[in-house]
Amino acid sequence: MRIIFLLLLNVYILFAFELTLNTGRENKQNFAVLHVQNDLDFTCQKFVTENKIHFECIIPGIVDTPLNNQNFATFDLKFFKETQKIKMVILPKTDARMFDLSQNIYIDKELSNSTSHKSKGFTFVFTDNLIRKRDYDGLNFGINFPYESLPYVGALDLNSNPVVIPQSADINTYLRIKDEYDKANYQQVAIDADNAIKRYAKSIFMSEFILYKLRAENQLYTQDPSFRDRKILEKMIADAKNWTRTFTSDRNFFEVSYIMLRAYIALSKNSDINYMMSILNNQPNNYFSQLAKLDYADYLYSLRERSKAMDIYEDIYLNTKNLNLAARAAMALAKDSILNNNINKAMEYANTILKANPQYFGKDRFRSLDLAKLFDQNKQYGISSNIYQNIFNKMSRVSQKYEEVLKDLALSLSRVGKVNEAKKYINLYLNEYLDDGKYLDEIRKARDELFFAMDDENSTLSHKHYAMLIKEYAQKDENIVNKALDKDMQLYYKEGNFSAILGYKKQIEERKLPNSLKLLQQAAVDLLNSKLKSDNCIEATAIFAQFKSYEIGQKINDKKHMLDCFIRTSKVEEAMDYADKNYNEDPIFFGLKKASMLYDNKQYRQVLKIAKEIAESKILKSDEENFKAYYLQFLSYLKMDDYNKAISVLKILETFPMNFNMVEAYDTLLSYADDHKMQTTILTYAPKAIDYQNLKGINLYSPNLEFIYLDTLAKVNENEKSLAVLTDLLKLKLSDDDRARALYIQSLTYERMKNTQAEKESLQQCLKLKPSNWQNLCRDKNQILK
């Protein structure tokens, strides 16, 4: 059926000049028709420039009002005021043709090919794929119709040949009714057939008129249980009975009997139903007899006589040679299987139809939709989408269920993951029902959910879209919010933007999303690894603390570095706990670290316990680790005033290659000995430390070592050794205060050696330094020497 939608858009009045635009749609293709008319002749011509056409019209006259250019979907209009005339330019955006209206083909008896381009009216047609005008290279002469005012073709017979009979209109009516029925326009068929019955009482097509009326009414009033009119159904029965009595030998007898059965079923007249079945069963292989059995089975099923109904369905399904009947029986069996929780069997029946006769779903729309919805309810969207697709393929835009089926098709495709197809039908729905759609909320929601299945081609736009969905559905649909949050986190993780994921910690935890929680934890681990790798201990310990409950510290790559970060940032409690947790992974490393922290915390007995265990352990250790274990024992014994044990451990330490840790041990021992007036200890170990420092040229513990040693040397009157130590000490880069002290000690040494001149030189050097307490002593002593 050709359907044209026309809309009058605007009329522009220019003196006696009119523009009228009609737009419409035919065969799914938009078109526009522009009519240009004037009281006086004007010219319009077509021009071709660089393979693009446009039209120019010259309209004589003057207009005072402004002429605004106009933009339309298929063309643009531009106006130019010129002297005593207006030029109108038409710029097509699609295929276009111009028609000269200077001749009236319905009134003029002689028609000719006009080339003047002048007329009181022109029509312009704009549409895609416009059929081009064919040019004939032949004689140009007028066509004369002297005897007919209009071209006319009379009535046609069934073979499309012209016939001339007094009452040919009934033929045209019959053909029109048949055509409308084939297009499923049942309401119009019922009206036209009823009119034909009344108008053409003696027509040879009377049986066809009644038959088509009954067929149309059967489709309208017996298929949908929600729409039943008792009077109409009883009138159908009366008409059917009259037809069977009148046309007893007609080949459509069983079809009319079948329609009568359907009316009886609609009215629930059991005895009449059984009677009609007895008639129809006389021809068991007849199509309508088998179809009647299926309707009768539906009737029995509605009466809860399932066993009898199932026998009929299975008989037809297995034995009929008609694919449509087999498909309908299979649909009934599939529906029963779903209702009895045998979804796999139902899928088997449905797949059989989809493989052997998928077009049937479009022919039996009511039952097909019922079955598709049942599959939807059981989340079998793959099958339901195929059923909806076959139904939709057979529907026209004006079908009653068009919008609903389009919606169901789009939703089922989106749920089965057919992204491109779902997007196609979602967009189709939004294009056709954007302003007044019944299912706009569902479609928009499906469109938004479909975004989750699409590739993130532009990550920036994707993040914005996910944020929009989270905000949009915060109070509407928690499932969409959760999906958007999951997808956003996945995209951030894919980009390596772990900090962004950590920013959603609160939302993810509140919603308890398993996938996002895993990504959150992994992002925290990855970010912590990154901070450790860049030695950013402040941020590393902050991330560790933020995700302490996730135990991310046990999942990182470098646990030893993590412990070092705790120690460096003075997070002692966390460091001690972390060392304990990971002790078994490397008892030597984590044990020594813990012992060092315990030493700093003055828990010397625990230090000794751990250090001894490490020293005595049979686990393979490096020299450095062995040294550290004994070194911590040595320090702890000193702190506990157990000098003898400290010295015994020191002797073990001295068996290791000399290193600065040993110098540090000597320094600690010398400070202890100085505090406890142990001259022998100082005289024994101070030279070892000082000599090693001088050997390496790195004087980390100077001048403390030297001053302790010099003080002791003075007490035992070892002046030469004192001068040697002072000579090396003064070569170092000392503070003015330390240098003044060294020079003052040197002056005292010279004084003991009775070398007054050298004593004075030492004091003079001291006086040249910045003021200090030691310089004051130099000054006092220098005054005495004067």
Residue 5, Cβ neighbours under 10 Å: how many?
A: 10
Task: Give the per-residue pLDDT at 569.
Answer: 93
φ, ψ of residue 503 in degrees (nearest 5)? -70, -20
Structural domains of the chain in order of their starting residue, each with its CATH number: 7-132 (2.60.40)
> What are the counts of helices (DSSP H) followed by strands (DSSP E) for the chain?
35, 11
Measured CA to CA, the distance from residue 378 to residue 374 in angstroms comes to: 6
Task: Give the per-residue pLDDT at 479.
Answer: 84
Residues 6 or more apart whose CB falls under 8 angstroms from that of 324 comprise: 357, 360, 363, 364
Give the chain's length: 786
Task: Give the per-residue pLDDT at 148.
Answer: 54
- Tokens for 137, please give them: 């290279």
φ, ψ of residue 305 in degrees (nearest 5)? -100, 65
Task: Give the per-residue pLDDT at 590.
Answer: 93
198, 213 in Cβ contact below 8 A?
Answer: no
φ, ψ of residue 433 in degrees (nearest 5)? -130, 30
475, 496 in Cβ contact below 8 A?
Answer: no
Angle 161-167-169 from CA coordinates, rounded to 5°: 70
Alpha carbon separation from 346 to 298, 353, 378 (Å, rounded): 17, 11, 11
Q: How confident is the model over 409-448, as pLDDT tens digits?
A: 999 998 888 888 988 998 999 999 988 899 998 888 888 7
- Residue by residue, DSSP assigns 539-581 as HHHHHHHHTGGGTGGGTSS-HHHHHHHHHHTT-HHHHHHHHHH
Which residue stretches of the chain have pLDDT < 50?
Answer: 1-14, 157-161, 164, 166
Alpha carbon separation from 506 to 467, 509, 511, 520 (Å, rounded): 15, 5, 9, 10
436, 429 in Cβ contact below 8 A?
Answer: no
443, 426 in Cβ contact below 8 A?
Answer: yes
Task: Give the per-residue pLDDT at 114.
Answer: 62
Measured CA to CA, the distance from residue 338 to residue 69 in angstroms comes to: 63
Task: Give the per-residue pLDDT at 8.
Answer: 33
Q: How confident is the model over 602-659, as pLDDT tens digits?
A: 999 999 999 999 999 998 989 999 999 999 999 999 999 999 999 999 999 999 998 8
Measured CA to CA, the distance from residue 600 to residue 583 in angstroms comes to: 19
323, 362 in Cβ contact below 8 A?
Answer: no
The number of C-alpha atoms within 13 Å of 20 and in the hemisphere containing its C-beta is 11
State the burial class of residue 313 (Cβ atoms within 10 Å of its Cβ: 0-12, 13-18, 19+): buried
The number of C-alpha atoms within 13 Å of 177 and in the hemisphere containing its C-beta is 27
374, 335 in Cβ contact below 8 A?
Answer: yes
Judged by DSSP in three states, 122 sits in strand
Task: Give the per-residue pLDDT at 9.
Answer: 34
Task: Give the per-residue pLDDT at 596.
Answer: 93
700, 671 in Cβ contact below 8 A?
Answer: no
Cis previous bond, 66, omega within 30: no
Helix (H) or strand (E) holding 669: helix 660-675
Task: Give the per-residue pLDDT at 164.
Answer: 47
588, 620 in Cβ contact below 8 A?
Answer: no
421, 413 in Cβ contact below 8 A?
Answer: yes
Measured CA to CA, the distance from residue 301 to residue 309 in angstroms comes to: 6
Helix axes 270-280, 287-302, angle to 10 degrees: 150
Helix (H) or strand (E) holding 401: none
Residue 290, Cβ neighbours under 10 Å: how many?
A: 24
Judged by DSSP in three states, 509 sits in helix
Task: Give the per-residue pLDDT at 138.
Answer: 58
Task: Give the per-residue pLDDT at 227.
Answer: 62
The number of C-alpha atoms within 13 Å of 7 and in the hemisphere containing its C-beta is 8
Q: Is the pTM of this model over 0.75?
A: no
Measured CA to CA, the distance from residue 215 to residue 199 in angstroms comes to: 20
Q: Buried b / exposed e across 44-66, counting CB within 10 Å, b at 16+?
A: beeeeeeeeebbebebeeeeeee
Residues 6 or more apart whose CB falls under 8 angstroms from that of 367 comprise: 328, 331, 332
